[in-house]
Structure 1
């Protein structure tokens, strides 16, 4: 199929006259790109002059290889380890060995304003609040360095998505793009912008889509979209931007799947389950009542990760006098974000072994005359055969629902001044949020297959008569988790910086930031109750509201600073160096499930980097050696206890240290061929990690490789440009070395190589066709193990069957774009 489409695209291009370069395309040299991220000063700076590592992704790159998700964009940035296997939201990004998940240490910005002030608020990663579509003009990504000074909660870096504006297209322009995916997904992206008066522009754009999901969910799993409208004014000295965006979008959250080993010890699929396409969700489990105190909880799996969000952004720059400007960036967002998902947990084990465990639970729960367990499907009561689905396996699944409504306002204000050779900035940021955190869960038994069925366990006596039920409608425990939280947060930050042009070739910059976080609220106390059905054990220990609330009041502050210098000894060549002493304040979300905790504190972070830059017509290179050190980090290991069917936690305080090298280069030996290379090599290690488990056994994990982070990540992209650059074809080859699913390094995740194919052809001046294939060879690639089996020491280590989350199988996208 791909060869036929490629030939068709080439044939169409041969007959079409050349198309002129558009305003969307990148500058003639990437070195000359004007950057705005990672700085506070108002003066312009070329990418070549930056004293920090920055990657830019232009509009043409976004057109050729449209990212599937926000996290997918991060994969193009060296220094970042990205797990985008969770779908369009709730993914993990780690920068330069920084050992925290989600977006807790990497900032996500839109037009230089945070999408969410705290990107790891507890089941609310920043990428759940953001969608990538054709309204994005370009992307800038800063690693380390000044990111933590001028952006909150971003010691690892910040990625800034810069949108299109009406003033970019004086005569008016727009496009409509339709994309069809082999996973039965349909999507339309559209935008239009126009300058309606001198320096005044309007813009509108967004997307809508519907599909079954990137894995087989058993129902329509993707539905919704977003729309934004923008008015902007820019006369060179003064500017104003008013942007209103609304998202109403449902996407699945993809989770680990059952796997096993082949005869040679390699990772293999389980019979009856395709790890590249199947899920443990499905139509049998899409709408289930989970019993609770009062009426049952209506669990709707089709909701998935449902984001309803409206954000209003107001930004302005005002010239006060020559060289002095006032800048303000303000954003208000109100959102209601729900995440419903089926989390596989416990052990993947044989039906025979599950019978033994369930019989023990039946006797311990009061059915003392039980001598055996009968397994029946919960939907129709038929018996579960010993070799069900060709594998004879079962697994537990948590039907988890988390709701996090959030109202937030962020206001960042600064004065910039160009005085002689100094570009100065002084600023103040205030952020306030109110959020709720409501969580409820039930734990069920499942067979192992794509779109599984729930299983009931019936306790019987020697004569085969029923003496009781371990489960109810497949659930072994209702109310296996419960939380109810209401919290308010306030952040204030003061920062200042100076970019000093010492000589025409040497620039030194330094900056500092003081920030204080205060938050407080109420966390419901919990108790367990028996719902009163004597025939089943499933409702004996339902977690619910206890006696009142625990009042939380916490305050933390920190001061960070950075100093860097750039020596541009040649217009196309330079050196830079930087040292940063910064911090990460705790997240209020850490108190959601444990309101009395006292182990959290400011995390001191030290970072150093030295970089080389070269840019020429045939070759360009950005290379940075870096060092990152966390001195005190609270690590929490949430693991699911099969005996009680609930989550337990273990806490340890440790440090980390990482030395590494990141590089991105481009070779253009001829006009029609180029070769891009992105490389990250690092040695990420835990330091001073001493841990004692609940049995009193001591462990020393110092020197172990950071969880899930590879030592080597390599991306090679050969590309061809034909027919006066009207056709672009490229192959992305990504290789990642071995990682570990746990801190003890007992469960390795094998190295893998992934290949993607991207093609785009401008058929006429106004029509373009695109073709993208991810995971071209449909290979099994594990990105993470099963965190619910324990992230300190994996409970899956050494087991014949285990749970892990792979990248998606082969996904083919074909698109047609009409521009006007």
Structure 2
């Protein structure tokens, strides 16, 4: 049975179990739990490895806790959406449920290169930022998640690999002493969304218990591509054994899920310079994805290439976990976390590369097309499916055309992870030490394949394919620049495979000098050895004389260049925490963190010379918790060394790509604020905000440009410019009211993001924007809760990124009236009903 069938069957079982439940958690229990959380008494398990317990208000680093109720109040559609309330993080979730971007404390790398994702303390994916395989593609949030702990900076890089800017730990539900369960049905009319989530846990006797949960959903998408953009689900099952002094958990997770990846869309500017949509393309709900480009058979030297954009990012993953902890003796704790996973990810997407008026496109290509076909007298744009002529003056109300990339990428990846820790807490000289040592091992095997074909499309919602043809004097077709809408087959090629072994040793000590003062320190040594091979490429002509589309096809040349590289580095941290009052304290910390190259650094370029990234992080903070208010204020400074900007530009002449990498250093300093006030029992107000100054420190290089028709090296100096896509100010303000004895709760989220830039030159501006979201909860009974959600209620056109394929050093579209960008989705609503027992 497939995951879709299994998830559907599981949904029926969970819903039946929920409907027959006789017991419910009491309101008093919920209120008590809320009070405990408000007072900062929750036990922190992320960013430390000691034998004793530590509460949030006692930690010597910045940490954000997101409980299940908070997750429900916003119903985030993705991992990145769930992290929007974390100060210090710039979160970009406009691409859909997967492949988001998170930048922590000004670390300017894409994807999840600055933080790591954890599942019950063990990485979701050892390297969370493999090329075309972010960790959020291999993880889904559902009702199995009990809470999320987010460490910002701090000691995260000591206890986890690839976590220089922080760690996000998703902690799953555990079965209790009696049968318990939750279920949720979610419906979204805007996106034609239907989703079921559920979880059930129960004791089995003699220390044994189990938990099973997951989700299944089908959704066209707020940006409807004309087919189901998101479809599939996840099943998670855990078997637990509690033997008094310890606990063992055996876990299995299956993901079989397809999600659409929203790429950039066409945009323009009005007379005032404001960014607006083009006629014929709705910037709030439109997408270039369509049925016309959903199923393509593309050509390659080795045969046809199947492109199925209806699968989007298709993830098929099996994961097995063994988590064990044992209190060997009073003050001694041994734990071991092991996980094996095997995944096959096929990532299909249509990526806009350039946009122009049809007139400009014809002028650019007319001479070469006429020269290629003797007897040709004129050129014409026409639709590939019907042969209808394209109106260059005003087709779709705009008369514009795209060059896009239909790109299927296949990543076959498996990994084994093991983290062994021993912790001992002891007293000496009237002081307490909580010492831990650990050994971490990771084995990764990866195969990577990429192919692209450049397509010619009109600018419309659910864009259609175009052909550029050459006509003789009688109006007959004598040749074509395209074939079935493809302007160049094989515009990109990559084929490589490799393995990686990572070993790490780490140690930490939490030294309680006196009742109110503690000093924490830790060190990590890590080494990476990676080996494999990458196939070179060649350009071939596939021989169809009637078209130019197959004249320059990149394909493998059969020559594999091996790579065998080894890297190692030592990082360390030292911090101090002073609790000057029972629920108030201050802390300060310095961390020397790093990020080593991985197999993904070489799998598409065996001769690459990547650098170990070094990061210096300084932070200091104030913490205060009470029943009526909580305040966490943290100042930080981040120096990031050896930041490589991968500058990839689309060349409209060759319909291919030109790449270069420039290394520089960056600096970001700022302040994070996280606070809640509860002046009455019926009103609370939460504010999460970050102000920072993120800049390049020494970005100087020579750029190849065309000056007076000649290739020329032009010196560039962008030192002091604002980092790419990192805003100086972000905030989320949430006023909320709770009425009718906690039966009714309504809240509003006001999100503001200051201006950013799409390039290092700071000439391609991404304007500031503000988004308004809201949710309402009503407890119909103790077991049934109704929800309503409204996202982007003002239909804001918030631009999160420009066109990376126009260049991220100096954008080639900065001053263009027509350009490509990726905004957030338009106004949409969702409704949910929860059942619990």
TM-score normalised by structure 2 residue count: 0.94
| SS of corresponding position for 2:281 | coil
Q: 2: CA distance between counterparts of 1:18 and 1:141?
A: 29
> Could you give the per-residue CA deviations for residues 385-412 of structure 1, whole angstroms, max 9, x where no partner exists?
1211011110111000001011100000
Quick check: 2:517–2:578 contact (8 Å CA) kept in 1?
yes
Is residue 2:635 matched to residue 1:625?
Answer: yes
Q: 2: CA distance between counterparts of 1:234 and 1:613?
A: 35
**1:253 to 1:118, Cα distance in 2 relative to 1, 3 A:** same
Which residue number in structure 2 is paired with residue 698 of structure 1? 715
Residue 493 (structure 2) aligned to one of 482, 501, 525 = 482
Quick check: 1:18–1:726 contact (8 Å CA) kept in 2?
no
Q: 2: CA distance between counterparts of 1:24 and 1:403?
A: 49
Is residue 2:654 matched to residue 1:644?
Answer: yes
Which residue number in structure 1 is paired with residue 250 of structure 2? 242
| SS of corresponding position for 1:362 | helix
Alpha-carbon distance, 1:631 to partner: 2.2
Alpha-carbon distance, 1:482 to partner: 1.2
Q: 2: CA distance between counterparts of 1:342 and 1:357?
A: 23
Pairs within 5 Å for 1:513-592? 513-592=524-603
> Could you give the per-residue CA deviations for residues 580-637 of structure 1, whole angstroms, max 9, x where no partner exists?
1121112321223322122x12111101001000111211100000000012222211
Pairs within 5 Å for 1:37-436? 37-166=46-175, 169-182=176-189, 183-197=191-205, 199-234=207-242, 237-346=245-354, 348-363=355-370, 366-367=372-373, 370-386=376-392, 387-420=394-427, 421-436=432-447
Q: 2: CA distance between counterparts of 1:109 and 1:214?
A: 29
Quick check: 2:331–2:426 contact (8 Å CA) kept in 1?
yes
Alpha-carbon distance, 1:24 to partner: 10
> Greater CA deviation, 94-103 or 314-323?
314-323
Quick check: 1:64–1:728 contact (8 Å CA) kept in 2?
no
Which residue number in structure 2 is paired with residue 770 of structure 1? 787
Alpha-carbon distance, 1:370 to partner: 4.0
Alpha-carbon distance, 1:18 to partner: 8.1
Quick check: 1:143–1:156 contact (8 Å CA) kept in 2?
yes
Quick check: 2:500–2:598 contact (8 Å CA) kept in 1?
no
Quick check: 2:530–2:598 contact (8 Å CA) kept in 1?
no
| SS of corresponding position for 2:787 | strand
| SS of corresponding position for 2:676 | strand
| SS of corresponding position for 1:127 | helix
Alpha-carbon distance, 1:234 to partner: 3.5
Alpha-carbon distance, 1:466 to partner: 3.3
**1:239 to 1:295, Cα distance in 2 relative to 1, 3 A:** same
Q: CA RMSD in A?
A: 1.5
> Could you give the per-residue CA deviations for residues 476-532 of structure 1, whole angstroms, max 9, x where no partner exists?
100111111111111000000000111110111000000011111111111111110
Q: 2: CA distance between counterparts of 1:24 and 1:794?
A: 54
Quick check: 1:64–1:758 contact (8 Å CA) kept in 2?
yes
| SS of corresponding position for 1:684 | strand
**1:756 to 1:440, Cα distance in 2 relative to 1, 3 A:** same
Quick check: 1:24–1:60 contact (8 Å CA) kept in 2?
no
Which residue number in structure 2 is paired with residue 720 of structure 1? 737
Residue 764 (structure 2) aligned to one of 723, 747, 750 = 747
Q: 1: CA distance between counterparts of 2:592 and 2:26?
A: 52
Q: 1: CA distance between counterparts of 2:462 and 2:60?
A: 52
Quick check: 2:675–2:688 contact (8 Å CA) kept in 1?
yes
Quick check: 1:213–1:251 contact (8 Å CA) kept in 2?
no
**1:25 to 1:787, Cα distance in 2 relative to 1, 3 A:** farther
TM-score normalised by structure 1 residue count: 0.96
Which residue number in structure 2 is paired with residue 5 of structure 1? none
Alpha-carbon distance, 1:368 to partner: 5.8
> Could you give the per-residue CA deviations for residues 694-740 of structure 1, whole angstroms, max 9, x where no partner exists?
23101011000000011000110000111222222100001111000
Q: 1: CA distance between counterparts of 2:146 and 2:465?
A: 47
Q: 2: CA distance between counterparts of 1:422 and 1:235?
A: 27
Which residue number in structure 2 is paired with residue 810 of structure 1? 827
| SS of corresponding position for 1:32 | coil
Residue 684 (structure 1) aligned to one of 670, 694, 716 = 694
Q: 1: CA distance between counterparts of 2:828 and 2:722?
A: 32
> Could you give the per-residue CA deviations for residues 644-682 of structure 1, whole angstroms, max 9, x where no partner exists?
111211111100001100010001110000000011000
Q: 2: CA distance between counterparts of 1:30 and 1:455?
A: 62
Which residue number in structure 1 is paired with residue 511 of structure 2? 500
Q: 2: CA distance between counterparts of 1:134 and 1:39?
A: 26
> Could you give the per-residue CA deviations for residues 9-53 of structure 1, whole angstroms, max 9, x where no partner exists?
xxxxxxx99844349944253411100000121210000100000
Q: 1: CA distance between counterparts of 2:402 and 2:199?
A: 46
Q: 2: CA distance between counterparts of 1:363 and 1:502?
A: 83
Q: 2: CA distance between counterparts of 1:269 and 1:626?
A: 38
Quick check: 2:695–2:719 contact (8 Å CA) kept in 1?
yes
Q: 1: CA distance between counterparts of 2:56 and 2:381?
A: 64
Is residue 2:463 matched to residue 1:448?
Answer: no
Which residue number in structure 1 is paired with residue 605 of structure 2? 594
Quick check: 2:645–2:808 contact (8 Å CA) kept in 1?
no
Quick check: 1:30–1:47 contact (8 Å CA) kept in 2?
no
Q: 2: CA distance between counterparts of 1:360 and 1:217?
A: 35
> Could you give the per-residue CA deviations for residues 186-233 of structure 1, whole angstroms, max 9, x where no partner exists?
000011001222543210000001110231111112111000101123
> Could you give the per-residue CA deviations for residues 53-94 of structure 1, whole angstroms, max 9, x where no partner exists?
000011211222221101011111000000000111111000
Q: 2: CA distance between counterparts of 1:813 and 1:666?
A: 27
**1:593 to 1:370, Cα distance in 2 relative to 1, 3 A:** farther
Q: 2: CA distance between counterparts of 1:799 and 1:502?
A: 62
> Greater CA deviation, 493-502 or 227-236?
227-236
Quick check: 1:25–1:58 contact (8 Å CA) kept in 2?
no
Q: 1: CA distance between counterparts of 2:662 and 2:551?
A: 32
Alpha-carbon distance, 1:462 to partner: 5.0
| SS of corresponding position for 1:693 | strand
> What stretches of structure 1 of length at least 5 have no aligned partner?
1-15
Which residue number in structure 2 is paired with residue 791 of structure 1? 808
Alpha-carbon distance, 1:332 to partner: 0.4
Count how many residue pairs are aligned between Structure 1 and Structure 2.
800
